[in-house]
Structure 1
């Protein structure tokens, strides 16, 4: 068995430390903090991620930040067509050749899109049903929220992010780490922690711990307010964490009489802090605030 994990059976070979460094050297690539790049060098880790994603047979997967192709190859090995979004032009241009070399029989199931995942749209990525990715750590939350918004076909996924970010995304109301990312993610999906990832599986090894986050899409709460209006309430509620939700929402609705009416209509205690409210309560406040707006 080699570090590339090749075997006598047909199918893709996965990338080990030697292959990752060799590919990077050939491309003149060094991982950059600016783009949150840390390449996975352990075949067992990418296998674990694919297994934990609980994909259905042949399910089309959206991958963001494929880098040199470590996770991509594991997804293809499991029989999943992959559409990969890569912002780095050097990495994006090299991926088809890497797939052709390490997974020649699956090359037709791979598509790379050179684009910024923060702005990519369905016209570029099609209609994938799952997202499995090692997200760039510096933009993980906005990328995930953007993808959930612009790609309604995404019904579930598993992403690797910084451990603290994983805690925030999966945090329930009332917990210490619950905040804006938690509430906004809850608009789209049920989110949970799906396990830790060690530092030594990356090159270079990051200075932070990593974690897996699983999500399952659900319908947003019933509300007459738009997503943007609900998110505005969330942002206002957490703008001053130590204050009551009534005080924190004063900028959102400066008219105190109307704001008090919002709490009366919704039955939400204005003395609570924003961190105690779930997405259903935020949606209710936004809806009541909309009804209270002057004609």
Structure 2
């Protein structure tokens, strides 16, 4: 049973943050306004909020009037959300893991979330590879993850996540936040990233194959592509796909990765089961 903390009646005070769920509740009012304003600038007819916790963002999003689906794994958070917003006809609660819980089909979402640090990457991978329609996404990440998303070739931050995200969306870092912006305060900085979909962008099949190519190619960053793919593809396959076998993965631009993946799918479909 969720109970009030008599010393502080705010919703955040009523919910015990749980390390297992990676919960750090946003309390920075300026950041809250920026995140909500960016999400509501979308033309999408409905909103998907991931990890609402005590509902600090939820309350402001519901004021817009659009239908909102909130997904949270924490039973206590769901109890509090239901208590606070059950009388709002546009509020819909889904209790479960955002990595795998079924989502209602239909029109595109405006997606918003203060993502739990321990699940942010798989949640984003799902949003980018499973055909979930979205008009924009405004998502909070650990700063290191945000830097990887926006990494450029030749840098340490650049990797599979950079390539996939940048081929699917235009990325903008909206705000950087220190530990003091959250309760409890995490040990790291955070950043909010805006995703706006690119058109054209890779098909879902290409995105899944792309991840296979990228994870293999980046599996040992100091090794060449030929070494990372040894025993999986014929020796000349990479060259035929436009990838120099002597190159390292971190120097290759996203557009080149996509074209090479398309060639590899065509030439070696056995490596990329549908």
Normalising by structure 1, report the TM-score. Answer: 0.79
What is the DSSP-based 3-state SS (H/G/I as helix, E as strand, rest coil) of the residue aligned with 2:246?
coil
Greater relative contact order (Cα 8 A, min sep 6): structure 1 or 2? 2
2:52 corresponds to:
66
What is the DSSP-based 3-state SS (H/G/I as helix, E as strand, rest coil) of the residue aligned with 1:205?
coil
Contact preservation (8 Å) 1:92, 1:114? yes
Matched, 1:182 2:153: no
Deviation at residue 232 of structure 1 after TM alignment: 1.0
1:75 corresponds to:
61
Matched, 1:112 2:87: no
Deviation at residue 192 of structure 1 after TM alignment: 3.0
Give the alignment's Cα RMSD to 1 decimal: 2.5
Match of 2:242 among 234, 258, 267: 267
Structure 1: distance between partners of 2:245 and 2:256: 12
Structure 2: distance between partners of 1:185 and 1:110: 29
Match of 2:215 among 235, 238, 255: 235
2:3 corresponds to:
none
Structure 1, unpaired ranges of 5+: 1-16, 25-29
Structure 2: distance between partners of 1:222 and 1:89: 36
Choose 1 or 2 for highest CA Rg: 1
Give the aligned length.
262
Structure 2, unpaired ranges of 5+: 1-7
Q: Map of 1:34-113 to 2, 5 A cutoff?
A: 34-53=20-39, 55-56=41-42, 59-99=45-85, 107-113=88-94
Post-superposition CA distance 1:18-64 (Å, at most 9, x none)? 5034422xxxxx21221110112333331121123362367421110
Which one has the bigger helix percentage? 1
Contact preservation (8 Å) 2:40, 2:61? no
Normalising by structure 2, report the TM-score. Answer: 0.85
Structure 2: distance between partners of 1:58 and 1:216: 12
Structure 2: distance between partners of 1:293 and 1:268: 15
Classify 1:276/1:289 alpha carbon distance in 2 versus 1 (closer, same or farther; 3 Å): same
Structure 1: distance between partners of 2:22 and 2:130: 23
